[in-house]
Amino acid sequence: MTDEIADEAYQFMRAHLHGKIRFGEDRVDIRVAPTASGHLVASVMVAMLRSVDTVLELPDDSDDALVLQVTLEQIDENGPDGAICDRWCIYHGEPPDVRWARIQIDAARFKGYFIDGQALMRENPFASQEGALCKELNSSCQELVIRAARASGEHLLIDPKVVGVDPWGIDARAQLGIARISANPALASTNNVKPWLTEQAGG
């Protein structure tokens, strides 16, 4: 496996936060959200937490999909992990289930390559400033977000709200879900976010 494949798989994962989860003999829809630690978080069913063999398919089980072998750890929305449960709701709205899980990526398969899960669990060094960045971008840069999303991923967004910022891009919530505007190469600091977004938007 090359670093390029791991980077491509990571960007693919961040662009596909809606997929399927296989546990036991069941396979159902799931939406995940990224966390500052590199784990994913999701609203889950009890049966998912009890499964010893759990697989995420993003966005499905096609040949081009990203397949993740994962471990689910139950967390409490009213405890110290409440903030990451709230983060899921900021990304996706009302949760379908009352239980929550922090998701560790153990391994992945992408384009015929096997990838160590740690390569896809990237901490966000912008986390402490992320809230302020989202607020700033939403108050003064919405048109840039719309143009950058259209240019980089052919997303046609109406009234998008930036919900996540990290060195590898921006997550914007719109009517049809989350649109990812990817940064390649990665952004060195939060000071680079607005200039990069302006460039992505075509100046």
Claim to verify: residue 137 and residue 191 sit in the same structural domain: yes
Mean pLDDT of 170-199: 95
Confidence tier at 203 by pLDDT (50, 70, 90): low
Query: CATH code at 164?
Result: 3.20.180.10
Claim to verify: residue 36 and residue 72 sit in the same structural domain: yes
Claim to verify: residue 139 and residue 61 sit in the same structural domain: no
Claim to verify: residue 91 and residue 9 sit in the same structural domain: yes
So what's the pLDDT on residue 90? 98
- DSSP result, 123-185: --TTHHHHHHHHHHHHHH-HHHHHHHHHHHH----SS-EEEEEETTEEEEEETTEEEEEE-SS
Which residue segment(s) compose the domain that 104 sits in? 3-120
- Bridge partners of 147, per DSSP, are none
Claim to verify: residue 161 and residue 116 sit in the same structural domain: no
Question: Of the residues 120, 148, 163, which one is the last residue of a structural domain?
Answer: 120
Domain count for the chain: 2
Claim to verify: residue 36 and residue 95 sit in the same structural domain: yes
Is residue 98 a contact partner of residue 85, using CB atoms and an 8 Å limit? Answer: no
Query: CATH code at 21?
Result: 2.30.110.10
CA distances from 14 to 11, 59, 99 (A): 5, 11, 23
pLDDT digit string (tens) for 101-137? 999 999 999 999 999 999 999 999 999 999 999 999 9
Claim to verify: residue 185 and residue 92 sit in the same structural domain: no
pLDDT digit string (tens) for 5-47? 999 999 999 999 999 999 999 999 999 999 999 999 999 999 9
Question: Of the residues 98, 120, 142, which one is the last residue of a structural domain?
Answer: 120
Claim to verify: residue 164 and residue 105 sit in the same structural domain: no
Question: Of the residues 91, 120, 149, which one is the last residue of a structural domain?
Answer: 120
pLDDT at 52 over 80: yes
Claim to verify: residue 114 and residue 142 sit in the same structural domain: no
Give the global pTM. Answer: 0.94
Claim to verify: residue 150 and residue 88 sit in the same structural domain: no
Q: Residues in the chain, how many?
A: 203
pLDDT at 1 over 60: no
Residue 84: name the closest of 48, 42, 117, 56 by CA: 42
Claim to verify: residue 58 and residue 75 sit in the same structural domain: yes
